[in-house]
């Protein structure tokens, strides 16, 4: 039977992997958000789909929820979207708060797996939706080999490294 101390390296590894996932989300999300034409924010693919701006606001909501789960006090809030720039700043600020929590020593209120399978995985889905909607709105994002991208754990700001290999 293992003691809590024996589980510490395993738990730190899970947190490190989550932090790398957040850095990946910052990289991919930044690419989806950056240099969007003004028409992208309010582009409607159909009556029943969210606009890219609504999706970006939802990303902020997801990351706020993720932090509340990590803290063990689950809270969900649906925000009213601000401007593209405001929601972009909110996205990166929320990533930063969650990454800071995971980098610290405070215990997780739930499992690392729950954070990954819930809000973090959902956030990746929504970043992909923004990329797809940008292409439909005639403001495409170039494809990239993300396996060789310069993604560093803890780097969750809007300032990201230049792509190493893009293609159309």
CATH number at residue 146: 1.20.120.450
Q: What is the pLDDT of residue 2?
A: 35
Q: Are 117 and 22 in contact (CB under 8 A)?
A: no
133 found inside a domain: yes
Residue 26 lies in a domain: yes
Residue pLDDT tens, the chain, 168 long = 333 443 677 889 999 999 999 999 999 999 999 999 999 999 999 999 999 999 999 999 999 999 999 999 999 999 999 999 999 999 999 999 999 999 999 999 999 999 999 999 999 999 999 999 999 999 999 999 999 999 999 999 999 999 999 988
pLDDT score at 168? 83
Whether 5 is in a domain gets the answer: no
Please report the beta strands in the chain, taking only residues with DSSP state E, as ranges in sequence order.
143-144, 166-167
Domain region containing 157: 14-167
Q: Confirm whether 7 is domain-assigned.
A: no
The total of structural domains in the chain comes to: 1
Q: Is residue 130 part of a domain?
A: yes
Per-residue confidence (pLDDT) for residue 156, from 0 to 100:
98
6 is a domain residue = no
pLDDT at 7: 61
pLDDT of amino acid 5: 40
Q: Which residue has 């509340």 as its token pair?
A: 68
d(CA 76, CA 60): 11
Between the two ends of the chain, the Cα-to-Cα distance in Å is 53
Q: By the 8 A CB rule, do 58 and 50 touch? A: yes
Judge whether 96 lies within some domain.
yes
Residue 8 lies in a domain: no
């Amino acid at each position: 039977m293992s003691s809590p101390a024996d589980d510490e390296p395993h738990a730190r590894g899970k947190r490190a992997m989550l932090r790398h996932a957040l850095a990946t989300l910052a990289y991919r999300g930044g690419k989806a958000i950056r240099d969007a034409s003004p028409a992208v924010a309010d582009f409607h693919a159909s009556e029943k789909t969210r606009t890219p701006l609504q999706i970006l606001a939802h990303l902020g909501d997801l990351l706020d929820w993720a932090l509340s789960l990590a803290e063990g006090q689950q809270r969900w809030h649906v925000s009213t979207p601000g401007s593209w720039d405001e929601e972009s700043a909110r996205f990166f600020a929320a990533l930063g708060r969650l990454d800071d929590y995971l980098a610290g020593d405070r215990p997780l209120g739930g499992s690392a797996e729950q954070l990954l399978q819930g809000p973090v995985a959902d956030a990746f889905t929504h970043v992909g939706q923004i990329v797809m909607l940008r292409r439909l709105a005639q403001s495409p994002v170039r494809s990239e080999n993300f396996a060789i991208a310069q993604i560093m754990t803890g780097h969750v700001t809007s300032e990201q490294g230049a792509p190493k290999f893009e293609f159309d």
